[in-house]
Amino acid sequence: MAMSDLADLFEGFASHWIDTQAGKIFARSGGAGPALLLLHGFGQTHVCWHKIAPQLARRFNVVVMDLRGYGWSVAPESSNGDAYAKRAMANDAVAVMEELGHVRFALVGHDRGARVSFRLALDHPGRLTKLALLDTAPLVEAFGDADLQRVGRATFLAQPEPKPEALIALDPRGFLDEALKSGTKSKSLAAFDARALAHYRAAFDEPSRIHACCEDYRAGAGKDRDLDVADQKAGKKILVPTLALWGEAGFPAAGPSPLGAWREWAGDVKGAAIDSGHFLAEEAPEATLAQLEAFL
């Protein structure tokens, strides 16, 4: 399916193509009130927020964007994760929000988007009012083999090119569908709206996007982790109120306390487990929305 044929899941939201140092970043915005940015995770696009963004837009000026390399945003050339370091991706988010008139904003990130959100909170502390991190844990924490399948996939994607790219290209849709299924509590695609799945599949089924995803994980295994370790040693902290949410059947829940892990990085942290797998906003939208609205 062509990208132009995909369903619009954000009725009434404006569309934006915003120039950044990397190229054009795609975003949508809607609602009125304090600014709120939502960042998606691996295998998905801004569409992952479609079940909760319209409700949040009743109270907030909501912005959803595609991270570089994902969805409709630019996929810059890269090797060894250079163009996909979370510092650069966080700078994209700041540029998008500035272009839309928001100097300060609340931020919610899931999975890879949470990695970007964490880096943004450390690099640009004056930008944020609040921070919510969904189903993720700090890179420097020893979460071991709590979820062998997910840890194995991350290790696979971070391998030097072109091995993972070549293997994924044999069956991109199969790889993506299996990654999504394995993260859910039900181990099925039932939680995903068929229209959202069409977005994810269309965005992933292209060589430059597959390469971008691998580069994202290469950055995570190298540059991002090194920077996090350096910041931890320097005592750098998240300075804004922080909410950690995780699925009871998600990856962080199988290891040490996610809340305890984030308390090593922030002084004002609260959190809760949700009856869900990894994809909180799609598997358990009502519970996720309630937690976010209460916090924000």
Active-site annotation, residues? 111, 278
Token pair 């959100």 is at which residue?
117
Question: What DSSP letter does each residue of 11-74 carry, written as one string?
Answer: TT-EEEEEE-SSSEEEEEEE--SSEEEEE--TT--GGGGTTTHHHHTTTSEEEEEPPTTSTTS-
Task: Name 258's Cβ contacts closer than 8 Å, sequence gap at least 6.
Answer: 137, 244, 246, 252, 271
CA atoms within a 13 Å half-sphere pointing along the CA-CB vector of 144: 7
Q: Facing residues of 83 across strands?
A: none
DSSP alpha helices (H): ranges in 65-110?
A: 86-99
- N- to C-terminal Cα separation, the chain: 37
